[in-house]
Amino acid sequence: MDVAHRQILLLFSLICVPYVSGTHFSFPRLGALRRTIRIRPEAESISSVSKDFKTIFYSQTLDHFNYKPESFTSFPQRYVINSKYWGGPNTSSPILVYFGAEESLDYDLFGIGFLRDNAPRFKALQVYIEHRFYGKSIPFGSREEALRNASIRGYFTSAQAIADYAAIILHIKKTLSAKNSPVVVTGGSYGGTLAAWFRLKYPHVALGALASSAPILYFDDLAPQVGYYAIVTKDFKETSESCYETIRKSWDEIDKVASEFNGLSILSKRFKTCKKLKRSFDLKDYLDSIYSEVAQYDHPPTYPLNIVCRGIDGAPKGTDTLGRIFAGVVAYMGNKSCYDMDEFNHPTDETYIGWRWQTCSEMVMPIGHEHSASMFPPSPFNLNKFIRKCKSLFGVQPRPHWVTTYYGGHDLKLILHRFASNIIFSNGLRDPYSSGGVLENISESVVAVYTVKGSHCLDLLPEMKTDPPWLIKQRKTEVQIIKSWILKYYTDLTEFRDRTRV
């Protein structure tokens, strides 16, 4: 094994250590799509969709904000266009852009339906842009090289990412002679936050933004640290009181068994872990991730939270607490020969590795467990311990206040009211991340569109015949708002042209 591979394996081994060993659970994952059960279209639908996609690699600038020699280094950044329904530049037909976030763009092309479903309605060009350092858009072509080199890793920021998006959008408009085509940007979760920030930072590039399930207030002390898990608890309690009670009691039961002679072996057998547990925390973190995921992505028509609770509540009479918990795991994860405790935080997963860096640099989201009414054990967010762990991992100190400094945070609603326009903040109130979202109208054009029964980024998923009426209504409202932006743009464009002729 060469030196480079030994170094990257060392980095991975460090990264897979929890932030605060044994005391702090893994941060809930962001992302528009579920990690464990992603949308996998049938082969024929893949081929029918993919033939309309054209993949292009843009020579992207490594550093948009400096003029040092190395700043002008370039790397290939992937974007994908679909012009099937585009009315073309002569009619100034719009461009719908989806911002890729903390994963490869591949799943978004099939899992995100908002652009594909609405392109015919708007006669729009569809554009999907991959986030730097993910998928195939990695400086120097190697994730290992990029992550191992601290200097290169320093260019892995949200500000650089949205500057990338601006450069690619302007390049597309120039290449296609689409100067007057209005651009509406869209993103979900972290990508939704980027879309909102993009509209604030680049209003001359994007006419408007749809920010789906964007936890834009989950920084500094803008939202309650316990907000996320308070909603997870509420979702479970509303679904099944007995399921909620079983989960709430299970944590002490796990600790009780773990404290016994050979207790970790007993837990390993009872939960069929792929590797013998070295500590009970790993099992608890795994269960925490399952409960968070099913609450966050509790999408119709399957409603995975119901699946977990049916497994827990439906266990045979006489089944003890841990047996019921395991039945919930099997109901959701499937009947496997063993269960990988790293399923949600695998040390070689690109999202896990990349997002760990982003949270250790600028995307510091203080999420913690509460006590009393929560179905989770206490695990408050400790900033000092978080900083120490990040310094041990990457040799840098997180900047927990940078997001609110750079993009705005304190009094954000007042700032949005005074300076922003044409942003839709869409949320579902059963989504735990809605606790950090904008849930009220800020102005006539900065609006909140939410559903009481909705979940994380549900409005961005492909339209289905089984969609409930409230979801159909939410999407219709969003489309109507975007139409109003575009119509006003065309009016302004005509008036401006008339004035210049005089």
User: Annotated active-site positions, please?
Assistant: 189, 431, 456
CA distance 290 to 328: 10
CA distance 148 to 7: 7
Residues 6+ positions from 466 with CB-CB distance below 8 Å: 300, 301
CA distance 488 to 476: 18
- Which one-letter DSSP state was computed for residue 91? G
Please compute, for residue 464, the number of CA atoms within 13 A of its CA located in the half-sphere on the CB side. 15
If DSSP codes are grouped into helix, strand and coil, which group holds residue 40? coil
Residue type, 86: W
Neighbours of 356 (CB within 10 A): 23
273 within 8 A of 283, measured Cβ to Cβ: yes
Residue type, 305: L
Report the sign of the C-alpha dihedral through residues 117, 118, 123, 127, in that order: negative
Largest CA distance in the chain: 90
How many residues in the chain? 502
83 within 8 A of 125, measured Cβ to Cβ: yes
CA distance 282 to 288: 10
Report how far apart the first and last C-alpha atoms of the chain are (Å, whole number).
73
- Which one-letter DSSP state was computed for residue 126? E
Phi-psi region of 395 (alpha: psi -120 to 50; beta: other; left: phi over 0): left
